[in-house]
Chain A
Amino acid sequence: MTRRKRMLADLEEDIRDHLERETQDNIDRGMSTEEARYAALRKFGNVTRVKEETWKVWSVEWIEQLLQDLRFGVRTMWRSPGLTVAAVMAIALGVGINVGIFSVLNGLALRLLPVPHAAGLLSVNQVFHFHRQPDRLIHNDASWFSYSEYLNYREHNHVFSGLVAYEPYLEATLRNGAARQVLGTAASCNYFEVLMEHPALGRGFVNSDCATAGRSAVVVLSDSLWRSAFGANPSLVGEQVVLNRTPFTVVGIAGPGFAGTEPIPSAFWVPVTMQEALEPGINRLASDNMSWLAVLGRLRRGVTMQQVHADLAVIAARVDQLHPGRATSLVIRTATFFSSPDQRQYLIPVATVVLIAFALVLLIACANVANLLLARASVRQREIAVRLSMGAGRWRLVRQLLTESLLLSITGGALGSVIAFGSFNWITRLVTSHLPHDFPPIAVNVGPDLRVLAYALLLSVVTGVVFGLIPALRSARADLNNSMKVGGTLGSPARKSGRFLLNTLVGSQVAVCMVLLIATGLLLRGLYHAQNVDPGFEIKGVATTFLNLERQGYDQAHATQFMRRFQEQIRAIPGATEVAQAECAPLSHDFSASQFTVQSDGDTVFIEYNHVSPDFFSLVDIPILRGHSFSPDETSETHGIIVTESTARRLWPDQNPLGKVLREPSGREDWVIGVAKDAQVAHLGESTSNYLYFPAGPQQDTRSYVLVRYATNFTDVAKSIRDVAHSIDPGVSIDVTTLDDYLEVWRAPARIVAALSGTLSALALLLCSIGVYGMVSYSVSRAVHDIGIRMALGADGVDIARHVLWQALRPVLIGGVLGVGLSAAVSGVLTSLMFGLGAHDPIAFVSVPLFLLTVALVATFIPARRAMKVDPIIALRCE
């Protein structure tokens, strides 16, 4: 028994004992038994109060008061179910969407990697500072490592028990049964050991697998590839599978839960030394100056981050000595998806914008609930005044009111979070339905973890305080004298400041809502714009297929042979009118660019380029304005190039561009033989940047797009194209789409964001109109008396309605103007993220405010009509 319990257990007995003694004393003094007992009780005072006060000595007061407040809060909520449901729903909505989006971000960038003991895995990245022209080659991510750099860190560090390197997103064609494209990983041979992901069947890699480049053709397959392509055949280990043209021996099947350490699952793993077998012609291992390997280290037990930084910095300095003109700083953090500074640089601003947009909706919800509570607070003013005049402390009262609002917000937050966790499937479907069809699946765990739960709780508490504090403080400041009188609130100063508060809340709601709506308006306008954009070339009716024959194991001679036959046979397809070849198909997100030196003045310029066959220009209908197009016998060996008109104008203003010379970094010189019309062939919405065309040659055959203009329907043509490819090589993997599809990819970000922000603004608008409606009905119901008097004095319904409308619309107008101003200020951020947005698109900036104003008018009109119908006799008799 605690001291407290022991002390209190005897209290009752002590008091009885005390009373008996006193009674006895009184009897001794000559009182009758009855009289003596009453006298003793009188002298003792209120027994219950004495007990309570004694208990209080031993109780932790705030806990008991909290329980008391909670009990009272629940009772209050129960008594006004309408208000409770409205408030809880508003908060559930606001908190729910915020928790939902946070879970996604958490899954994307905050969660540890899905491997055992992930907290001990560090991601190591390099940030280079170049003293002169950067000369780093980049494959996938600028902050990754070359193989020799990786080996340097692996051999010389003292802080990791193991350091792995891997190249993710290796495309390969699996040639067992029907050819299929898979994404895999080339990994250092300690990969499975350091990640503690021992394959479920067979073995992982051993050191000898990585000893000699190109020697050990072994592969570990993912569980899902093993199941989908090989029917989970247990005797597959030891068998051979063909990736591209190289046969690999299956040595293991990875555990069912393991799909690599990138958001896009890996289907297979090969030793890093087999890289060239999968990417023929590119020997990344030998390049000391290429970023292509992501590096993860498993921290040695007991080593601190400071030690890691100090130890690796020494190695970085040593590596820098091999590369004069550059200084490396390392970015080391606990490994998650998107660990590299390069990726975070993009992710963080986007995440911030998204989180802010979602938080704004929560803010509107808060304002709504605050409004509701304020309205109720004025109903409860008498209750509160009574408590205050009976001696309740103001702070105590504020605490009680805050407890009530926290109760509301946490209930709402819990409900919202549960709904959010339940609705992920729906959101995922929404997002993926807007992604291009060949977009790889993403393995991101969006389930709730401690961090998400903490965020949900924090959000709920902050919400509760935000919407609860103002009404609570105001109530506790109540003017006792006035509130106690019946109807005493009329015309009192408290009422005036209350109206100001209500107006401020509604005004800010409208402002926030306006920002969201205008953002959506801009996005929708951008989308519309993108849908109707004229790219400057004929994008309709063109089938396109990308053939990376090199990846599929072709050498250049075979590739050229394949390409020639392929194009010849396509020409024979009924319905195919033109065929052309291009290194980068228009708008395919495939870019090539280089520095060129302009011979006439020695300037270096950055120019994007493309290698195209002669038919390209006529196929996509880009006219040659001066000079002539390539002739069929021109290849990359010849020196003629075609520039766009803007490029010509920029490089040789007011001169004839024909015959002008550009020097490539290799020293090779090319001269202009033609000028093509500007078109948005590389970036949608951008036609005037520097761009030039080289003639396509055999070098391009290993990796090239084939464009086919067709006159019939796409499905037939696509089937014929595939049939042609398979008739030449049954094992070739080919995917046929249209140029239009590429356009979809450009629109996808705007479309996803527009869908999300559209949903958000619809919610915001709903909440906002409820807010305006609530405020107006509330003030009308409070002003019935005033209206009655006005009517009695001769005002007619229209006057009253005009008055009510004006009163209500003033905060709406002020908020609206503020919102428009705010949007104008922040729309620059949006435009930088999304294609095709005009930052000050007049249509969005005019129509959205008008729309919001209309909604506000409707929301106001309903209660205003009620005000018109006030019967002065009834209104005044109410008093």
Chain B
Amino acid sequence: MSTKEQQERIELLQGTLDLLILRTLKLGPMHGHAIAKAIEFRSDEVLQVEQGSLYPALHRLINRRWISVSEGTSENNRRAKFYALTARGRKQLTVETGKWDKLARAIAQILSPGEQEEA
């Protein structure tokens, strides 16, 4: 990893990891490592997720009953824990996505008011 590459990566905003996990699990049940990979991959490797921080976040979501966990077998026949979205989690995802959109729009508006006016 070069220094330049590191600078292009963005630290995750606090609280957004939960949203990303929920969104990722919308595609179907996954094990921990796969979730980390998926987030990395889908953000074109721009978002730098410290993979360890995934676990407290997963447990937090389980505690809130937004995701569930079950034993399963992974693609290469290894035993693994699979995390899946619950009904409550699905609802929460909609709420959180809505909030995020609002926030993003608001911040964009502040950062570049001119463009907004033109549009």
Q: Are A45 and B33 in contact (CB under 8 A)?
A: no
A 17-34 to B, binary, CB cutoff 8 A, 1 in contact else 0: 110011001000000000
Interface residue total, chain B, C-beta cutoff 8 A = 18
Among A1-19, those with CB < 8 Å from B are 7, 10-11, 14-15, 17-18
Q: Which residues of B contact A74 (CB under 8 A)?
A: none
Among A7, A25, A44, A58, contact of B52 (Cβ-Cβ < 8 Å): A44
B 34-59 to A, binary, CB cutoff 8 A, 1 in contact else 0: 00110000000000001111011001
The complex places the Cα of A206 from the Cα of B59 at a distance, in Å, of 75
B20 at the interface (CB under 8 A from A): no
A49 at the interface (CB under 8 A from B): yes
B63 at the interface (CB under 8 A from A): yes
Q: Are B33 and A44 in contact (CB under 8 A)?
A: no
- In the complex, what residue of chain A is closest to B1 when comparing beta carbons? A39
User: What's the nearest-Cβ distance from chain A to residue B100, in Å?
Assistant: 22
The complex places the Cα of A142 from the Cα of B81 at a distance, in Å, of 81
Q: Are A17 and B52 in contact (CB under 8 A)?
A: no
Q: Are B60 and A57 in contact (CB under 8 A)?
A: yes
Given A7-B62, A54-B59, also A49-B80 (CB < 8 A): no
Q: Are B60 and A50 in contact (CB under 8 A)?
A: no
Q: Are A14 and B62 in contact (CB under 8 A)?
A: no
Q: Which residues of A contact B32 (CB under 8 A)?
A: 14, 17-18
Among A7, A21, A22, A44, contact of B50 (Cβ-Cβ < 8 Å): A44
Q: Which residues of A contact B63 (CB under 8 A)?
A: 57-58
Q: Are A54 and B51 in contact (CB under 8 A)?
A: no
Among B55, B62, B80, contact of A50 (Cβ-Cβ < 8 Å): B55
Residue among A17, A18, A45 having the largest count of chain B Cβ atoms under 10 Å: A18
The complex places the Cα of A90 from the Cα of B55 at a distance, in Å, of 50
Interface residue total, chain A, C-beta cutoff 8 A = 22
A 33-66 to B, binary, CB cutoff 8 A, 1 in contact else 0: 0000000000111110110011011100000000
Among B33, B56, B78, B81, contact of A53 (Cβ-Cβ < 8 Å): B56
Q: Which residues of A contact B60 (CB under 8 A)?
A: 57
Q: Which residues of A contact B51 (CB under 8 A)?
A: 18, 22, 43-45
Q: Which residues of B contact A53 (CB under 8 A)?
A: 53, 55-56
Q: Are B56 and A50 in contact (CB under 8 A)?
A: yes
Q: Are A15 and B55 in contact (CB under 8 A)?
A: yes
A 325-357 to B, binary, CB cutoff 8 A, 1 in contact else 0: 000000000000000000000000000000000
Which applies to chain A's interface (DSSP): helix, strand, loop or mixed?
helix
Q: Which residues of B contact A50 (CB under 8 A)?
A: 52-53, 55-56
Among A17, A44, A47, A56, contact of B56 (Cβ-Cβ < 8 Å): A56
The complex places the Cα of A57 from the Cα of B36 at a distance, in Å, of 20
Q: Are A57 and B53 in contact (CB under 8 A)?
A: no
Among B74-110, those with CB < 8 Å from A are 78, 80-81
Q: Are A7 and B55 in contact (CB under 8 A)?
A: no
User: What's the nearest-Cβ distance from chain B to residue A164, in Å?
Assistant: 62
Given A43-B50, A50-B53, also A22-B81 (CB < 8 A): no
Q: Which residues of B contact A56 (CB under 8 A)?
A: 56
Q: Are B33 and A17 in contact (CB under 8 A)?
A: yes
Q: Are A22 and B59 in contact (CB under 8 A)?
A: no
Q: Are B52 and A11 in contact (CB under 8 A)?
A: no
Q: Are B53 and A45 in contact (CB under 8 A)?
A: yes
- In the complex, what residue of chain B is closest to A17 when comparing beta carbons? B80
Q: Which residues of B contact A45 (CB under 8 A)?
A: 50-53
- In the complex, what residue of chain B is closest to A10 when comparing beta carbons? B81
Q: Which residues of B contact A57 (CB under 8 A)?
A: 56, 59-60, 63
- In the complex, what residue of chain B is closest to A56 when comparing beta carbons? B56
The complex places the Cα of A804 from the Cα of B42 at a distance, in Å, of 74
A 708-735 to B, binary, CB cutoff 8 A, 1 in contact else 0: 0000000000000000000000000000
User: What's the nearest-Cβ distance from chain B to residue A752, in Å?
Assistant: 63
Q: Which residues of B contact A14 (CB under 8 A)?
A: 32, 55, 81
The complex places the Cα of A45 from the Cα of B56 at a distance, in Å, of 13
Given A17-B33, A43-B51, also A54-B56 (CB < 8 A): yes
The complex places the Cα of A49 from the Cα of B56 at a distance, in Å, of 10
User: What's the nearest-Cβ distance from chain B to residue A834, in Å?
Assistant: 66
User: What's the nearest-Cβ distance from chain A to residue B54, in Å?
Assistant: 8
- In the complex, what residue of chain A is closest to B49 when comparing beta carbons? A43
Q: Are A11 and B55 in contact (CB under 8 A)?
A: yes
The complex places the Cα of A299 from the Cα of B29 at a distance, in Å, of 67
- In the complex, what residue of chain A is closest to B32 when comparing beta carbons? A18
- In the complex, what residue of chain A is closest to B78 when comparing beta carbons? A17
The complex places the Cα of A47 from the Cα of B53 at a distance, in Å, of 9
Q: Which residues of B contact A54 (CB under 8 A)?
A: 55-56, 59
Residue among B36, B50, B55 having the largest count of chain A Cβ atoms under 10 Å: B55
Q: Which residues of A contact B78 (CB under 8 A)?
A: 17
Q: Which residues of B contact A58 (CB under 8 A)?
A: 59, 63
The complex places the Cα of A144 from the Cα of B80 at a distance, in Å, of 82
Please report B residues at the A interface, Cβ cutoff 8 Å. 32-33, 36-37, 50-53, 55-56, 59-60, 62-63, 69, 78, 80-81
- Known pairs A14-B32, A14-B81, A58-B59; list 16 more (Cβ under 8 Å): A7-B59, A15-B55, A18-B33, A22-B33, A25-B37, A43-B50, A43-B51, A44-B50, A44-B51, A45-B51, A46-B52, A50-B53, A53-B53, A54-B56, A57-B59, A57-B60
17 intermolecular pairs with C-beta atoms under 8 Å apart = A7-B59, A7-B62, A17-B33, A18-B36, A18-B51, A22-B33, A22-B51, A43-B51, A44-B51, A45-B50, A45-B51, A47-B52, A53-B56, A54-B56, A57-B56, A57-B60, A57-B63
A-B pairs, 4 with minimum CB distance: A45-B52, A50-B52, A53-B56, A45-B50
